[in-house]
C-alpha cells in the first residue's frame, strides 16, 4: 500500500487509515449513518477531502444491486415530442438524484426492445422508463418481464387500462378538445381533423378528443383525414383540400401538419385565418412565426418529467399496485391562424 504511488485512486481503506478509523466507519459517514460521533465524522470527512476520495460505484452496485441510474428507452427521432420529453425527464431525474442512461431505438421491435432492456438490467438500473409514442411499443413492452419498475411516458389509452403498468403522459385528448372547442366557439360548425399516423398514441388520442368535443357540442364530426406527422404530409393534404370544397376550420394533429397546410393554402391563394381557420398541436419553436402565426396546444414537458419521477419514486417505495395514470393538462395558445 505504501508502494502505490498514486497509481490507483484512493479506496475507502485509505481514507480509514488516514482518519485512524476502520473502513466501516468511513462507510457509515458516507451513508449518513446516525451513530458516528461528530468528532469522528469530521475527521473522516477531512480525510476524504484531503485524499480526494470518491466512492467506487461499481463496488457499491455490486453489493447493493442498485446503481442510482435509470434506463430510458426512447425513439430515435428528433421529433418535437419525444425529444422534449427526454430532455425534461433527464432534468427531473438528475434533480431527484438519479442518473439517466439512454437507448434510442430506430424501431420498437420486440427484439430491439429486449436488447435495450437487457443492457439496462445488466447495468443494474433501478427502473426503466419507456418513452412510448407508438403502438409498436405496446407489444414490445407487453412481453417484458423485468425485476424493476417500468414507467411509460405516453398517452397510451390502451396501456393505461392494463393493471400494473405505470404511466404518465400529457392529456392529449383534453388538448384536442380544447383545440376543437376553440374552433367551435368561433362559430364554425364543421371542424375537420387532419389526423396523425394512427399507430401513434398521441394521434389516436387527438382524434378521439376531437370527436368527443364535436359530439359534446352536438355537431357531426366530418370524416377525418389521416396523414403523417410531417409538413410534407400536411402540404399534400392541403393541396387536395384547396382543390375541392374548402372546410371552414381545421384541427391539425400537430404543428408540422398545420405548417404544411398553411403552405398549401398559401400556394392556392386561400387565406388562413380568414377563408379557413387552423389550429395545430405542440406549440413548436417557431409556431408563433408561421404565416399566419399558429393557434396551437402547448404541452408542459417539464411537469411531465417531474410527474414521471414522482411515479417512479412511488413504485420504488414499494407501492407497485395498479396506479392510476397521471395526466398533465395542456393549454391552448391562441394566434392568428384561427381567425383574427
β-strands 191-195, 249-252 pairing: parallel
State the cell numbers at 69. 441510474
* Cβ(195)–Cβ(227) below 8 Å: yes
Q: How far is the CB of 232 from a second copy (least distance, A)?
A: 7
Neighbours of 289 (CB within 10 A): 10
Q: Is 103 in the site for a second copy (CB under 8 A)?
A: yes
Asked whether the beta carbons of 194 and 223 are under 8 A apart, the reply is no
Tell how far CA 18 is from the center of its chain.
47
* Residue numbers at the binding site for DNA (CB under 7 A): 8-9, 11-13, 20-25, 27-28, 30-31, 33-37, 39-40, 53, 55-56, 59-60, 62-64
76 binds a second copy (CB under 8 A): yes
- Contacts with 108 (C-beta within 8 Å, 6 or more apart), sequence order: 75, 132, 134, 136, 137, 140
262 touches, from DNA, a second copy, none (C-beta below 5 to 8 Å by class): a second copy
CB of 99 to DNA, least distance (A): 16
Report if residue 306 touches a second copy, rule: CB under 8 A.
no
| Choice between 33 and 50, CB closer to DNA | 33
* Of 25, 67, 135, 172, the one binding a second copy by CB under 8 A: 67
DSSP single-letter state for residue 3: S
Least distance to a second copy from the beta carbon of 154, Å? 19
103: its cell numbers? 437507448
Rank residues 48 and 166 by Cβ distance to DNA and give the closer one. Answer: 48
| Residue 228 binds to a second copy (criterion: CB under 8 A) | no
87 binds a second copy (CB under 8 A): yes
Interaction between residue 53 and a second copy (CB under 8 A):
no
CA 327, 328, 331: angle at the middle one, nearest 5? Answer: 135
C-beta closer to DNA: residue 47 or 130: 47
From the list 84, 155, 144, the residue with the least C-alpha distance to 113 is: 144
Q: How far apart are CA 311 and CA 326, in angstroms?
A: 9
Q: Exposed, middle or buried, 102 (CB in 10 Å: 0-12/13-18/19+)?
A: middle
- Interface of this chain with a second copy, residues 2 to 41, rule: CB under 8 A: none
User: Which residues of the chain form contacts with a second copy (CB under 8 A)?
Assistant: 54-59, 61-62, 65, 67, 69, 76-80, 83-84, 87, 90-91, 94, 99-104, 106, 118-119, 121-124, 230-232, 234-235, 256, 259-260, 262-263, 266, 284-286, 288-291, 293
Amino acid at each position: 500500500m505504501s508502494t502505490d504511488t498514486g497509481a490507483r485512486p484512493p479506496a475507502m481503506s485509505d481514507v480509514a487509515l488516514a482518519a485512524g478509523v476502520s473502513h466501516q466507519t468511513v462507510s457509515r459517514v458516507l451513508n449518513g449513518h446516525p451513530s458516528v460521533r461528530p468528532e469522528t465524522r469530521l475527521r473522516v470527512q477531512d480525510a476524504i477531502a484531503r485524499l480526494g476520495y470518491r466512492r467506487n460505484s461499481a463496488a457499491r452496485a455490486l453489493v447493493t444491486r442498485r446503481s442510482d441510474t435509470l434506463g430510458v428507452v426512447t425513439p430515435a427521432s428528433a421529433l418535437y415530442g419525444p425529444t422534449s420529453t427526454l430532455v425534461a425527464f433527464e432534468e427531473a431525474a438528475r434533480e431527484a438524484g438519479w442518473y439517466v442512461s439512454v437507448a434510442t431505438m430506430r424501431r420498437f421491435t420486440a427484439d430491439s426492445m429486449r436488447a435495450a432492456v437487457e443492457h439496462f438490467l445488466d447495468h443494474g438500473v433501478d427502473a426503466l422508463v419507456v418513452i412510448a409514442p407508438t403502438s409498436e411499443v405496446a407489444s414490445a413492452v407487453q412481453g417484458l418481464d423485468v425485476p424493476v419498475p417500468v414507467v411509460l411516458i405516453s398517452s397510451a389509452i390502451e396501456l393505461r387500462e392494463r393493471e400494473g403498468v405505470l404511466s404518465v403522459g400529457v392529456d392529449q385528448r383534453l388538448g384536442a378538445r380544447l383545440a376543437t372547442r376553440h374552433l367551435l366557439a368561433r362559430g364554425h360548425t364543421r371542424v375537420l381533423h387532419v389526423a396523425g399516423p394512427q399507430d401513434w398514441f398521441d394521434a389516436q388520442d387527438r382524434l378521439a378528443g376531437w370527436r368527443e368535443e364535436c359530439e359534446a357540442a352536438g355537431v357531426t364530426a366530418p370524416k377525418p383525414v389521416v396523414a403523417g406527422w410531417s409538413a410534407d404530409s400536411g402540404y399534400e393534404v392541403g393541396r387536395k383540400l384547396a382543390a375541392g370544397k374548402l372546410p371552414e376550420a381545421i384541427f391539425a394533429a400537430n404543428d408540422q401538419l398545420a405548417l404544411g397546410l398553411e403552405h398549401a393554402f398559401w400556394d392556392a391563394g386561400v387565406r388562413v385565418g380568414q377563408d379557413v381557420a387552423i389550429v395545430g398541436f405542440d406549440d413548436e419553436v417557431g409556431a408563433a412565426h408561421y404565416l399566419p402565426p399558429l393557434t396551437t396546444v402547448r404541452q408542459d414537458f417539464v411537469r411531465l418529467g417531474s410527474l414521471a419521477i414522482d411515479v417512479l419514486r412511488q413504485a420504488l417505495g414499494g407501492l407497485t399496485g395498479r396506479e392510476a395514470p397521471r395526466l398533465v393538462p395542456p393549454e391552448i395558445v391562441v394566434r392568428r391562424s384561427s381567425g383574427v
